[in-house]
Every structure is written in structure tokens, then in C-alpha cells.
Amino acid sequence: MDGGFTHVDENGNARMVDVGGKSPSRRTAVASGLISMSAECFAMVAEGRAKKGDVLGVAQVAGIMATKRTGDLIPLCHPLCLTKSAVEFVLRPGESRIEARCTVECEGKTGVEMEALTGAAAALLTIYDMCKAADRRMVISELRLLEKRGGKSGEFRFEAGADD
């Protein structure tokens, strides 16, 4: 890691990175995050008893939609033509937590890390929105890039406790 910031020019001004000279390649990123909630709220979601309907189904669609709009939400992010966007959930009943995992792919000149992170975040925020009447103390945490493949910088895999 070179430690430089690519979205700032030599004068400290914000800029969108010029990817015009790059060759397209297959890009993949996976991101995840967690939402913790009360045991009662978790049971409602897991059993499909939430008053607002299918929480995980709606959150899944929200996450996918967010990946497609990332360039509109993150100021210096390039708009991308995604070839895959998927959101999956892992229920952790013993912890009353739900993990949202978003996988995004494209054939392009820039990576899809921000799209994967945005998709996971939107899915978790949607769970919060749909469940806030039952539990306003929910906590969203551990939003992170788990892995990325493709592009000049190659592969990355998140390893807990590893120093980059």
C-alpha cells in the first residue's frame, strides 16, 4: 500500500480519478456488515412476523438497488455498469445479529469496492428502518470490505488482526 490518496490532487483539491488509460478487467468485491438487535426483534425478522412485511426480502432488494446507484451517492465514485449484484443474509440467532453480505461484479476500468460496501450498508439500514418500531437500540457495525479481485492492485482479502 503506497498510502497516497487518489481522490486528491497535488494542491489538495478533490478530483475524480482518471481511469481513461486503464484496460477493462473483471472486477469483484464482497463487503459485509452486521446489525445487532433484541432477541424479540430478531425472532420477528427470522420468523417473518415483522409488521412491515418481509424484512430480509425488502432489505435484499434495497442493497441491490443501492449498488446500482453508488455513483450517485458517493461524490467521486465512477458510475459503473454492473454485471452482478447480490445480497445474502446470515442469521446469527445466538447473538441476535444479522450479517448482510454483498457481492458485486463488473467488467470495467475501476473497482467495485464502493458498490459492495454501499449495498451492504443499504441492506442493513433497511433492516433498521423496517424494525425500528420494535427495537430502536439496534446497532449497525463492522461494515468492511471482505475481498476484492481484479485490477492493477490485484487481490485483497480481509484478515482479522492483520496489519496492512
Task: Look at 1-5, 20-24, 101-105 and tell me which has the smallest mean pLDDT.
Answer: 1-5
**Dist. CA 127–CA 105, nearest whole Å:** 24
Phi then psi dihedrals of residue 98, to 5 deg: -125, 130
Render pLDDT for 18-46 as a digit per residue (tens, 0 to 9).
787 777 889 999 999 999 999 999 999 99
Which is catalytic among the residues 2, 18, 129, 163? Answer: 129
Read off the pLDDT of residues 121-141 as tens digits, 9 standing for 90 and up. 999 999 999 999 999 999 999
For the residues 6-20, what does the mean pLDDT come to?
A: 79
* pTM tops 0.95, yes or no: no
163 is catalytic: no
Q: What single-letter DSSP state applies at residue 22?
A: S
Cα–Cα distance, 38 to 61 (Å, whole number): 24
Do the beta carbons of residue 118 and residue 108 sit within 8 Å?
A: no
Q: Rounded mean pLDDT of 53-74?
A: 96
